[in-house]
Structure 1
Amino acid sequence: MSTSTANKPVAPRGGRKDAFSSTSPVRGKGDSKEKGGGDEHALNKEMDKLMEEHARIQERLAETKPPPVDSNEVGGIVDYDQDDDGAGGDSGEPTADGRAGRQQSQPRQSEELTEEQREKEAKARFIKSELGGFSEASPQIRESMKRNRRMFGNLLGHLGSAKQRLEKDRKRDAAQRQEECAQRVEAKLARQRNNLREIRRLEWEERRKQDRERLEQVLKEMEAKKIELLKIRLQSHYKQMTGFIRTNAQPSVFYLPKHHNSESKELLEQTKQQIEQKIASIPYSFAEFGEPTVASAGDVEEEKEAAESPRKQVDEDMRESSEPSRSDRKRSRGENPTVRSSLLLLGFSGTIEVSSSKPLSVEYPQEIFSVTQKISEGVTITLEVSRPVEKEA
């Protein structure tokens, strides 16, 4: 089977992007080691090649029948009986220009002429010896000659009809042999077509088996590339937090003071170490991923310690703020798993990240803004959430 793959549709890269569009990391095992990240651009190229090959294999596997056998592929059989008598018969072996037959007919014609002359001479001698003194013009002689001519004509007619019957029988036998030869050739062609069809079927089944094995291998390679890309993006996401200080309160806030002191430098170093530990804990296989949680740069113990009291204080502060508008409620309940908002107040920039193992009791985003304004006045705030926040039952 020959299938052209020059102009095959390429799967869009957007489908692959959806699998990694969330910027929220997932907490993995603490004892997992960090592997080489690789170049994201090179990985994207490799993913494109794998997806093209995946599309070609899927198209070949979609075929349900082996390719048909073309009638032009079977032929070239010459199966004529070499010992059959040809149509030339007595004319000798026929050649391209027929000279052999003419050359052989000429001496036979001369022989027939000489025999006719001999017969005439013998007849004349017989008449002279038998008639004796009778003349050929006598009635008895003329009647005898007429009778002889009739008998001779009948004999020639009988011989001619016999010759025609023999000629017809010979031609009929030749046609019958030719028909039998054609039947043998057709039977051989039919066997060749059946053999070729069986070969095509076996090759097609073997190729489908190889395509299935290659498809499994391609899927495994694509999964490995996805894991590498996910790790690179998670590392890039967390490295952006290393230049800020993380608060112990919940939800976690990352900020940067305008002027550093010894305490802020120490907190900055602690946050950097926590981020590095978080990067080292990124899992390396999909089996290690658990249920997705909201992004966090701390560890599990800090989340458990801050799960109760800071959350209650945050809820009280949020209840004091105004109720969100209908459009904000509709946007907060949307299907988009990543929500990003920015607020510019006085020119001092900072970044916060909301992290919680449970949904907040109020809706996002207006209440979050009211809390962050109380925490740090005059900042540019960027919020990143891994899934829509719902009201607590």
Structure 2
Amino acid sequence: MASSAVEKTAEELHKEIQELHRQQQEITERLRDPRGIRRGGTFPTVGTGGPRNRGVVRPAVDADEPPPPKRRVSSAIVKLEDGEIKAGVGVAQDAEDPLVGPCVAASRERNEQKTSRPGSVIGGFKREGNSRMRRVFINMMLPEPTPREPKLIQDASLVKRNKRMLGQLLGTLEKFHEEDEKLSSTDAYMHRSDLLRRAEEKAQEESEKLRLQERERIAEKQKRDLILRASVAAKAQEKKWELLFLSWSEHHKKLSNFLRTKAGPPIYYMSAKPLVDDPLLVEQHREQA
């Protein structure tokens, strides 16, 4: 019965120590984040890195069919001349260019070899050259694009109209500027400017006052939290000492039933038959032990 009571008391002490540690952790979190910015709601369905987007599903590549040949952008250029459409001008120009012509011919020949050559069979396994061979990219030297010349307006009436509209716009802006200067020199404008300046200064003073009050409130709260955390830590340490004393008492109570040698280190033993029949002497021996 006594052992069950001791175990229950030890369990209660463990619970009290855990509760004090939890309170101490909460106070530490408040001290780290006094404004409560980091203590926000968490989303259980979303991880720390955010939602994961699925990749683009690409169609499967058939190993039996060769890939389509590469197409150049210049081959799609169409030139209009006298109402007739002439296609393939870009290809002809590239072929005539001494810098680009050999590269285009080599690329076309390589594509034809890839499409005409079947997959090689090595060791009983079919292996496609396009899927596993190293791809070599050739940096082709393309001619620099010619700069575009600005379009000049040749119509005289349109030029006069644009100049007239620009003059009207500049005149309107100058008129507004003169009116603003006239209004700024009046007493009403000066009075209104003074009122606006005073209102801004008052708002700035109030904002600074609120900021100082917030800082003082946070400092006072941190001071109270520090004192509370110290008291909670002291209570937790006291509970730990109580638990340690309780375990030591239980252990010492168990050792009091044994006989101990006087020479050190002490050896605890128990005789098969009681040496003293008097219970008072036995109890006195236990107290001395």
Q: Larger radius of gyration, structure 1 or 2?
A: 1
* TM-score calculated relative to the size of structure 1: 0.30
TM norm structure 2? 0.39
